[in-house]
Copies of this chain bind each other. A is one copy, B any other.
């Protein structure tokens, strides 16, 4: 029988299931095999062909063709199925007494996301959201640069996440890719956007928007952000630029060696007597950053939170905040104008 008590789990070791064994689920399966505290890994997929391939790659793990059955055996479930099924599977897991980590986004509507968060609260089980970048040491460094004041007053964040594919067939590119960038910006500033506008168009796909651009405003810190996402670009781009009054920093997740670069550059007015802009062009620094695969850090955090009760950085509230921003972007897209999140945010804060 499954136990949910941390101490017992620590002794016995957890059985962790992964629902959905596609590209990303397969990464969880690989990583989980080396996470301390995991006694057993179970691959779960309805598609028997995918399951067979999974076994070929990971001959030492168990499998199941049904989440319902698996929920009777696992202590914890990672959900890497299509986005539209995240919330219902999370509810099923929590109702079965199983700790749960849905991949991003937590849900595809605010109502669903809220339901999952509230259910987790009431059961006392761990709910963690798969915002990988909150477990990325380069993002931690970017946050340090901001919070230490080294970049000066922050003006703007510009994020781009582009590639050819992978198209989803249940959500558009905003719901698929923007959760990463929204969770990054929220995390960098411990804040949430207050106004969002979105533009998106479908091209290669008949209905689903494959190119989009979001503009966000964070009113408490007076920071603007732009998020450019695409399934239809020849370059693979994963880049976040933070522009401050003193310095600018770039997080390039495609770089192996220089994930963070800090530019000692800026412009100031009121310095030159003639009112013209005074530019400062200093050097560029790429600090050394010890790097560990973020998914490994994330999965270890999930197990540790289950065992110790420690709240993870990307908890349910963090997942809900991202879903709220996505829903507002969707609404802006349909209305053709900016959408305000303030009221909703207040309600959530109260809830």
A contact residues vs B (CB 8 Å cutoff): 33-34, 36, 56-60, 155-156, 158, 164-167, 169, 197, 199, 201, 203-206, 211, 213, 215, 224, 226, 228, 230-236, 241, 243, 245, 248, 250, 257-258, 261, 263-269, 275-277, 279, 281-288, 336-338
Contact = CB atoms under 8 A, between A and B. Distances in A.
Nearest to A281: B288
Nearest to A242: B234
A197 B245 CA distance: 28
Task: Give how many copies assemble into the complex.
Answer: 4
B267 A164 contact: yes
B197 A277 contact: no
B233 A248 contact: yes
Contact of A204 (B36, B169, B267): B267
B59 A232 contact: no
Contacts of A288: 264, 281-284
B56 A33 contact: no
18 contacts: A34-B56, A34-B59, A164-B281, A165-B267, A167-B276, A199-B215, A206-B269, A213-B226, A234-B241, A234-B250, A234-B263, A234-B265, A235-B250, A257-B284, A282-B288, A283-B285, A283-B287, A285-B286
The list of the 10 closest CB pairs from A to B, nearest first, reads: A60-B60, A234-B263, A155-B203, A234-B248, A284-B286, A167-B277, A283-B287, A199-B215, A204-B267, A201-B224
